[in-house]
Structure 1
Amino acid sequence: MQDNPSTTPIVTKSKYISPVWFLPFIATLLALWILFQNITHKNMRVNIHFTNAGSIIVDKTKVRYKGVIVGTVKKIELDEVDGVNVIAEIESHATFLLRDKSKFWLVSPKASLTSITGLDTLFSGSYINLLPGEGEEATEFIATREQPITIPDKALLINLKSDNAASINIGTPIFFKKIQVGEIARVRLDKTGQFVNIQAFIESKYGHLVKQQSKFWNISGLNANISRTGIDLKLDSLTTLIAGGVTFSSPDSSPASLEKQQYQLYNDIDASEEGLSITLKLTNTNNLPERAGILFKGHGIGRIDTINYDSKSQLFIAKATINPAFSNLITESARFWIEKTSFSFSKIDNLSNLITGDYISFSHGDNYQKEQLRTEFVIKTEQSFLEDNSLSVELIADNANGLTDGAPISYKGLNIGKVNAITLTEDSKNIKATLSINEKFSYLVNKNSKFHLLSGINFKASLKGIEVDSKPLQNIIQGGIALYNESPITKKNVQTLYQSKRPFYLYASKEMAKLGKDAFAEPLNLKLLSKNLPSVSIGSPVYYHKLQVGEVSDLRLHNSSLMQTSININPKFKHLISKQTIFWNVSGFEIDAGLSGIKVNTESLLALATGGIALEFSPSATANITSEGQYRLFDSYQQATQPPKQITLIYDDASDLKVGNKAKLKGLEVGKVSQLTLNQNNKIMVTLDIAPEYFDKVAKKGSRFWVVRSEISLSGAKNLSTLISGVFINIQTGNGDKNIEFKGERNAPILAQHKTGLSIILAANNAGSTDTASPVYHRQIQIGEVTEKRLNDDASGVEIVINIYPEYTHLIRANSIFWPASGFNLDIGITGASLKSTSLTSLIKGGINMSTPDDEALQPQSQSFSTFKLKSEFDDDWLQWKLKIPKSN
């Protein structure tokens, strides 16, 4: 059979490579790539030397960099010399971190007073941390014991120099205005061994704060200073107490810091002499120590350096230094005040000041950032400025009775403010109280508002019954003021909101407030004016010779701030009223108690119960009508017919005196104290009401006024009657022209005018027991007294000045002899002991004896201020001299 050509296969050679051959080629490329990766990214083993391998576990403990695992511990071997060698395998992608100066350290849980670190290892286990360094590639490392300080990029490096390291360590923070801006990186002893070099860094964002004139000081730990003013503790913060700390100042005008500039590190801010110097002016420094602190919200920001008195301004000038971190707060609106101890029934504050002394508190204004700095302030004895956004209201009162600083202001029993300050008005005639009304209650105060006292308990008794008005306990203890509005006030109907600075008058009670001057009406008949409200009520009788001719119709406060009593006179007695009519108060009764007995004066039982007013026709009346045309209501008939005249005494301190103390002239009562006030110089002005018949004798230049009080001493007791009757003012009249203002004296003059005689000087080696007022004797009769003792011109001895009473001046002759009469002489012999003393007075007070020889002719009488030698010892013969010395010679 013949093959068919069409079915025979034809074989031909292909011109292309089969795709199958690409598979081996790709496999070869992959193998070469894997080989290259293994060669170029091979893990590297490193040897890290540790002192011990505590908490390091093979195949479990990791090596980390910035929290990323870059290796694992593969083996732990003992070192042939010391410690252990930890072999760790570092992954290939991190081998670039392995340089000569790279550092490894073990991170494990650690707690100390300064910090708590490594808490994450409680769950994950300890690990080795890596900090890359510079240098050639390395595989051998020595682990550090502590985590090295990492200096941030672009940080400012500074060098500090100190006498000692104190509490400064690596990692000690550096603060600026209480914000951490850097750390201590290195502490090394200087090569000379005399100083400590400290390297620190400031983070780049705070580097501009360090200037060439910046000063650094240590704020580490707790500094204590114990002195007579108390215990002075200085603690910057709890962190610096435990970990230490450094802070610095940064003068704005100083150029920027030089790179690696060296600064002195001072022990404290005082040593650095850094801070804002300010001047504080004070009226007094009672219980304020010289190194008193200045506190801001309880934190010390400064300290008083020195306190001096300026006699010109009569103020104490205190120089103080403010911590520079707070100097920007000392601006125009800054306020300083003294924090004092307050111990009362209403509050107890600052008891610790009794031991440590008072301190000064400080407060800045709200807009201090926009204000200019200020360096001089007048500080008050306490915080008296107003609260922010509060309404300031001023009250005028006749006196400060019932007023206290900090007392509450209430409206219908609700506290709406407080009393901020109590001072005298500019003319010193009245009391000015400054109130602070809470902002949300300010709408209650309007031009028709009235204020009255809330303190104490009001007790009223009459024929109609007894009325007792008791205030809350706080007002009884601390006092208080109430706001009274005749018509209810709400925020919606406010039309007359108080905006001006017109002061209000402070009334003694709500009843008086209701009768305030704005409610005065035209008099129905007569108005009587008096300083104080008489003890009368509406309906009280008006008498003429004990015949009722009218009654009291109204009680009000007059526009002059005097009390106004309106009366109605029965028409048939109108003829009794003329320009010579006088009115006086016959209400209640008067009691005058003393050693001589008790004197009670009262008009009648009805006048005692309801009060009353009497009138009389007096042709000699001159002061019965006021300058405003109203009649004057006198306190008594004697005051109405013989009104007292007044003189003024000026005292530095009148603590013993009070209104009502008597004034006496040679034991005769001639007046009494009617008023005690302060003048502009803070002197006490004592007003004496002198009976008219004695005024011309007393009101003369040269008159002297002194306080007589009880005195008890070894030499005797004086003026014991004043323990019951109270102190009084004694008067010694002068011979000059008329005068009504005198300087008061606290004690009696050393020499009364009638006892001033012959003054002579005794020269002695020392003053002995002789003192001022020691007696001078002749034959044991006191003839004079010592008025002064002093050193002589060259201080080689003393001079004792004595005054011989006028009636004995003739006894002192040119040859008279003087010797001490002080103490006693004890003579012990075979026959016994002899004790000699001139008198018990001389034994206690000391004294001087004198005599004149009788074996010489009578010498001339001594001249004033002649000098005699004071004998140190005396001869018994001197006591026997009997020279006759007649007064005519």
Structure 2
Amino acid sequence: MSRPPDLPDAVAVPRKRWRIQWIWLVPVVAVLIGIWLAVQAVLSQGPTITIQFKTGEGLEAGKTKIKFKDVDIGVVKKVALSRDYKNVVATAELTRDATDMLVDDTRFWVERPRIAGGNVSGISTLLSGAFIGMDIGHAKQERRAYVGLETPPVFASDVPGREFVLHAENLASLDVGSPVYFRRLRVGQVTSFELDKNGGGVTLHIFVNAPYDQYVKSDSRFWEAGGIDVSLGTEGVKINTQSLVSILIGGLAFETPSSSLTEPEAQVRTSFTLFPTRTEALKVQDRIVDTYVLDFKQSVRGLTVGAPVDFRGIVIGEVSGIYTRFDPVTKEISIPVEIKFYPERFTARHEEPSEGRLVTDPKAVADYLVSRGFRAQLRTGSLLTGQLYISFDFFQHAPQAKIDWSRTPPELPTEPSGLQSLQDSVNRIVARIDKLPLEQIGKNTQQTFANASALLQSLNTQVVPQAKSALSAAQTTLNTANSALQPDSALQQDTGDAIRELARTAASFRALSDYLQQHPEALLRGKPGDAK
């Protein structure tokens, strides 16, 4: 078969090499830039944390910011309920620069408008909206899951100062943010409070700012400064208060006794007792406290726990408990009163007391005092309120008594009060009256009255008629005398003539006497006219 003449011959052409087109450089560069941006985004992305709150008020995903010193350092990405539906968990993303801030004691809270303890905070959130505040801790351990605070902290962790702990019977008018005063200057605030586990009191935490924290000594005294402290003394009425703010919102103050100013500064979180008033806070703190019991047979109405125990006007203790006791032997009910006795006050000296007791054998001293008539007695402290107190003194006629040191606490002898002694005297008189034979005395009295009645009857029948006759004769005599004494009676006229005659006779005798004094010879010779 022959090839057609019109077909050309095939010629082998060598294969060309592959070349990169410039058009492909654009997507390649775009991919590289995207990868670089993604790596940069991953490298610059900050940590993600979770914060647990009791409520989601003010939290909004994608809008709620996290701020530190008013600088945005993160944003909330997600808000959801916890698995037990009791709390709200906010997931937030922070900037990379905030990584070192996330330590174990870092604190978070939702900043909202609040008014507490006289302090107003979060007013700016009324316009800008709520945000999560942050305070950096000092721990070294990192953390990513937190429990947010329900209220903002009173002070930031970087504020200089020290925190102290106070123990009180009740919270009174204090609150978080209540001021702390020193010499009427506001030097700190209450940071938190909580009820003791046993329910017997309240524990408060306060923060004293620097440099005022250096004045808190180990023997400093704290007291409630809210309200007005009014005291009545020999110098008149005294009114003490820290400021008008403390009257309205409460507060507390502290002071250090002059004898303790040289003591070292108190350490952080040192515990102190919070007293209700300044007077109680600055009382001498007794280092030695003895417990005794006083057994009273009388009513203790008006005696309260805390009532003073004094010796001739000097307080040497206080009442710590009042109970009742039934004696199965005597079948009597008594009132045992427990007292706290401060021996350092009873044996105080002008010099500073040394450590320990001031006497070597306190039991021997107590036995000696009791043998000399040292007794406890209930006395009235106020006639208006009827309050009682316990007074120790020496009673010379008190019966002999001894202290039984084997009992815990030992019992000191007592003496009935003046009113009780009067009542006992009245009871003894009544008992003696009860012993009198009142029935026999009544019968004798009745017989005496019968005899007296018979005597009066006899007098009425026998003596009275004779007395009437005698009175009639006496009346007749008086009438006769009255008639004779009338001015126009004959007796009166005769009596007048006799008196005039006696007057003339007396005048004659007086004239004769005068003549004889002048002429005594007339007694022998007679008158010259008689010789003729």
TM-score (norm 2): 0.46
Q: Which has the larger radius of gyration?
A: 2
Q: Which has the higher contact order (CA 8 A, sep 6+)?
A: 2
